[in-house]
Amino acid sequence: MRSPATLSDIVTSFLDVVHDRLLADRRGDVADYIPELADAEPDRFGLALCGLNGRVYESGDTGVEFTIQSVSKAFVYSLALDDNGLNAVHTRVGAEPSGEAFNSVKLESSTGRPPNPMVNAGAIVTTALVNGADPEHRFERILDRLSAFAGRDLTVDESVFASERTSGDRNRALAYLMRSAGSLIAGVDETLDVYFRQCSVLVTSRDLAVMGATLANGGVNPLTGRRVTSAETCQHVMTIMATCGMYDYAGEWLLRAGLPAKSGVAGGLVAASPGEFGLGLYSPRLDHSGASVRAVVAAQQLAKRFGLHILHRPLTLSAAEVAAAADELDEGLGASQDAAAAQLLAENADDLAVWRLRGYIDFDGAERLLLDLDDWLESRPPERIAPAVIVLDLTEVTQLQSVAVWMLAALASWCGERGMRVIASDPQGRSLGVAGLSQFADFETAVQDAAESTTGDD
């Protein structure tokens, strides 16, 4: 990890950890159904985060331009909403996750509506709903809206546009189907020209971070200070992104990342953490749902580590985080990140447990720790003679309630009676005054001490 030059560079170093670790991930394939996209440099990887104060943190290829593709759908939806209102838009396009691929041919049987504005069929309708005297004017308004979200004047990649226009038979078929069903009223060719052009707008992952931050900020671009749309529209857009933005991966995405997001087949991904920041990611190799493999993994790691799940927030006031640290040490994402500790833990897995506590530890947090440790002790091989050693990393604990201190004391004496040790690491040096609990300021020393008191592989 590069050493941070300023305090806020700590955020950049964090992105660097995620970025650098994922460089080795070469799963997936670059999209080639639009011939021009096949020329993308597959190893490109950019990761950017824009805070609501307008500071952008960047790691990797964040200045590389690529076509926005389906990421545009979320932002054009905001324009259709502002032009027509929520009800008028949704008489023409549904708001239900389709559970199918982005280009699926599936319309609601009773109304002929496409399932939602994030799949191609729904996005084609949304594009047609943007006000404008003619297709040129409509596209001009779309480009202005995308540019306002990004905070700079965006341009179109004409060769990608031409390539998609000549190879876009499936989208053309969808548009004809919707015209016959009555959900698309405008002409097919003029609508698709605008849609293909909107997909061919060039952005960087830095732009996507700013666009996401503008949504997260209730419609005011944190770089320019300009209001792009209303807070209400942002809420609608982020709702549809959360439920439908990742197509047939939308449910699992929400489960694992818990953030409104939108993917595009050039490898871009935008995610918004409401009231916190926007994320922009880019890497061209795609998974089966047409989303960037690295972008998906990176966003999920960040969301998990920052505790960003939109349904997590109401709990953070009271709930602590209590977790076995093995995975996290491996990922290198904790405040006490230490390859040496990961190694010792791996070598002594049967005898040594490292648990990491975070936040405000009350009864609930301490109880979870006890239950987790019960499970771990239960899982030890029964023939094991060496006593178990438990390391509790308190580095990121903000406060320990008295009941939790009492429970830790009880844990230490319970273990002591059985010949086991409990060791706490806490750089703040808060003395818990707990008999039988060894305390170290430094996490690495604590793990080393613990590893030495296990008998290793006997």
Residues forming the site for ligand GLN (CB under 6 A):
69-70, 102-103, 120, 164, 171, 199, 264-265, 290
Long-range pairs of 306-313 with CB within 8 A, sequence gap ≥ 24: 306/273, 308/257, 308/258, 308/259, 308/273, 308/276, 309/257, 309/258, 309/259, 310/242, 310/258, 310/259, 310/260, 310/274, 311/258, 312/258
The smaller minimum CB distance to ligand GLN, of residues 164 and 193, is found at 164
> Please, what is the minimum distance in Å from the beta carbon of residue 68 to ligand GLN?
8
- Nearer Cβ to ligand GLN (55/172): 172
Structure tokens at 425: 């690491």
Distance CA 432, CA 409 (A): 9
Whose structure tokens read 């530890």? 361
Q: Nearest approach, Cβ of 287 to ligand GLN (angstroms)?
A: 12
**Shortest distance (Å) from residue 211 CB to ligand GLN:** 15
Specify the DSSP class assigned to residue 156. B
Q: Minimum CB separation from ligand GLN for residue 67, in Å?
A: 8
* Nearest residue to 423 (alpha-carbon basis) of 337, 351, 329: 351
Nearer to ligand GLN, 120 or 233 (CB): 120
Which CB, 171 or 301, lies closer to ligand GLN? 171
Residue closest to ligand GLN (Cβ):
70
The region that residue 290 occupies, defined by phi over 0 for left and psi between -120 and 50 for alpha, beta otherwise, is left
Q: How far apart are CB 290 and ligand GLN at their closest, in Å?
A: 5
Write down the H helix ranges in 23-112.
71-84, 86-92
Nearer to ligand GLN, 242 or 354 (CB): 242
Burial class (CB in 10 A: 0-12, 13-18, 19+), 457: exposed
**Rounded least distance, CB 265 to ligand GLN, Å:** 4
Q: Which is nearer to ligand GLN, 200 or 439 (CB)?
A: 200
